[in-house]
Structure 1
């Protein structure tokens, strides 16, 4: 099976407009993100649309990267844009992470 059989390939830098740094700083792997249902009607495309769909339930940054099969840096930039535009919000972060959450993040990072 060749790459041509998988459909068109989009380079990661094309998804972020060539940017490598998010406009919203401080996003960690375990940062929980959610989107309001109203964000589903926003004029978003591709990965941005999928992130808003996934974040109808809280997802961590690591979960999103694994679900999209996209590099973490790319997802971090897209999520930063969505936060700035008001389509996503950061959920309240616990001071101490549960063992379950740490193990889930570990598994998602391994999947990348």
Structure 2
């Protein structure tokens, strides 16, 4: 495959955008409240993968890793899905990056991996 494919594809997926309407942090949780198979079938493969993986509540970073997409592209595609009201972005109110609630969630997630 030509190398230009890999340079163009993220641009095509995001429509050239690098910013999102919503502030999506790496630990922001997203989910699909009501899965719609017909809607999913009309999505580009990358967007479909994110949509299907978000059937379980997951963080932006986890979706990025599971789907093999860069974090920037993942944020833009998730933002587009949220704009269709098919994806829910869960508000996480953190006062600082060292918020106790965030650290507890991180600890609990690491325990689940062990």
TM-score (normalizing by structure 2)? 0.71
Root-mean-square deviation over aligned CA pairs: 2.4
Taking a change above 3 Å as real, the CA distance of residues 94 and 25 of structure 1, as seen in their structure-2 partners, is closer
Q: Are 1:16 and 1:77, in contact at CA under 8 Å, matched by a contact in 2? A: yes
Q: Are 1:40 and 1:53, in contact at CA under 8 Å, matched by a contact in 2? A: no
Q: 2:70 — aligned with what?
A: 71
Deviations 1:35-89 (A, max 9, x none): 0333332122211111110011001000011112111111111011111111100
Looking at structure 1, the residues matched to 60 and 47 of structure 2 have their Cα atoms a distance apart, in angstroms, of 13
Q: Are 1:39 and 1:52, in contact at CA under 8 Å, matched by a contact in 2? A: no
Looking at structure 1, the residues matched to 93 and 18 of structure 2 have their Cα atoms a distance apart, in angstroms, of 28
Q: Highest relative contact order (Cα 8 Å, sep 6+), 1 or 2? A: 1
Extract unaligned runs of 5+ from structure 1. Answer: 105-112
Larger Rg: 2
